[in-house]
Amino acid sequence: MEKKIGIIGAGISIASGNKGASMGPDAIRIGGLYSGLERLQISYKDRGNLSALEEPHPPRKIPVGDIRYLDLICDFMKDLKQEVTSSLEDGEIPLVLGGDHSLAMASLAAVINFYKKENITPGVIWFDAHADLNTEETSPSGNIHGMPLAVALGDGNDSLKSLFEGSFLDPSKVVLLGVRSVDSQEAQMIRKLGVHIFTMKDIDELGMKECVSRSIAIANKDNSPVHVSFDIDGIDGRFVQGTGTPVNGGITLREAHLFLEMLAAKEIVTSVDLVEVNPLLDDRNKTAEIAVHLIESLFGRVIY
């Protein structure tokens, strides 16, 4: 099946606690993105970067318990949602490069509303060390990058939820994969909503192949299009230095490639986020280069 990729740079770091993720999109490009897609003979259009959104100087004073920079982030998400929608309308697979994981709110809002016209609800595989199911009431930091999946499921701040125009994900088609850091309130939400989760314990016990097979079956239920939201910190911290919230005891590089190769074989992925690449924390752009190799696996690269 011929693929056409729409590359969208979403350089946002203001929704996290670290500076530097705003440079992630260009680091991935420099890491060999174009040549990787060209080797696979995949057509692509680089739609450029949205204006980077970094913490202002001097930083604002945010009251304890409030969401940090809510107004600035909402404006950014509206622009990103429009760009992802344009990519979908042009028949592309949007590849949104981050940037912190808050950007998934905009990409998912665009995807959900695009398929709503056909009465289709997409499935989601959320590859991440974290559940990202906090809300303004439960977040210990007020950082929105820990909230996007909760918002996409219809919980959390009203201004953020308005991006979705009243249509949210179906939790029965949502899978968390590789998770190993879950707050107690997030665990309650997982149980309440019925979101599927494969933790590192599950992967240890069942194996990566089985967990991925089950994840695909859940997200692709009823032949639904699948959105992959891939946080680079889902990979074990030994391998990815250039990310803001690494967690040890995670997925190996080979397991991550297996996940993406299995998705490529099914040809069900219709939109992608690749987030939390932070060049300021990296060593000679190695994490961005890993991100490129992962993208290649998702779009069909095989060993021979």
pLDDT of 50-93, one tens digit each?
999 998 877 777 766 678 899 999 999 999 999 999 999 999 99
Considering the candidates 233, 236, 273, 296, report the single residue annotated as catalytic: 233
- Among residues 26, 55, 83, 101, the one annotated as catalytic is 101
Query: Taking the complete model, does pTM exceed 0.85, yes or no?
Result: yes
Beta bridge partners of 130: 181
Our count of domains for the chain comes to: 1
Question: Is 227 assigned a catalytic role?
Answer: no
Q: Residue 4: inside a domain, yes or no?
A: no
Report yes or no on 219 lying in a domain. yes
Judge whether 3 lies within some domain.
no
Question: Pairing relation of β-strands 123-127 and 174-179?
Answer: parallel
Is 168 a domain residue?
yes
Catalytically annotated residue among 55, 186, 236, 276: 276
Decide if 205 is inside a domain: yes
Asked if 259 and 208 touch (Cβ cutoff 8 Å), the reply is yes
Cα–Cα nearest to 242, from 79, 31, 9:
31
184-223: per-residue pLDDT in tens? 999 999 999 999 999 999 999 999 999 999 999 999 999 9
Asked if residue 304 belongs to a domain, the reply is no
Q: Is residue 1 predicted with pLDDT exceeding 60?
A: no
Residue type, 144: I
Choose, from 55, 83, 92, 145, the residue flagged as catalytic. 145
Q: Considering the candidates 55, 92, 100, 128, report the single residue annotated as catalytic.
A: 128
**101 catalytically annotated:** yes
| pLDDT (tens digit per residue) in 244-288 | 999 999 999 999 999 999 999 999 999 999 999 999 999 999 999
Mean of per-residue pLDDT scores for the chain: 95
* Residue 132 annotated as catalytic: yes
- Residue at 69 is within a domain: yes
Q: Domain holding 271: CATH number?
A: 3.40.800.10
130 is annotated as an active-site residue: yes
Domain that holds residue 74: 11-298
pLDDT at 127: 98
Question: What integer pLDDT is reported at residue 199 of this predicted model?
Answer: 97
Plot region of 292 (φ>0 → left; ψ -120 to 50 → alpha; else → beta): alpha
Kindly name the residue from 92, 130, 227, 257 that is annotated as catalytic: 130
Q: Catalytic residue among 83, 231, 255, 289, which? A: 231
Annotation marks residue 236 as catalytic: no
pLDDT digits (tens, 9 = 90+) for 107-136: 999 999 999 999 999 999 999 999 999 998
User: Which one of the listed residues 132, 186, 273, 289 is annotated catalytic?
Assistant: 132
Place of tokens 């697979």: 93
In a domain, 6, yes or no: no
Query: In the 3-class helix/strand/coil scheme, how is the chain assigned residue by residue?
Result: CCCEEEEEEECECCCCCCCCHHHHHHHHHHCCHHHHHHHCCCEEEEEEECCCECCCCCCCCCCCCCCCCHHHHHHHHHHHHHHHHHHHHCCCEEEEEECCHHHHHHHHHHHHHHHHCCCCCCEEEEECCECCCCCCCCCCCCCHHHCHHHHHCCCCCHHHHHHHCCCCCCHHHEEEEEECECCHHHHHHHHHHCCEEEEHHHHHHHCHHHHHHHHHHHHCHHHCCEEEEEEHHHECCCCCCCCCCCCCCCECHHHHHHHHHHHHHHCCEEEEEEECCCHHHCCCCHHHHHHHHHHHHHCCCCCC
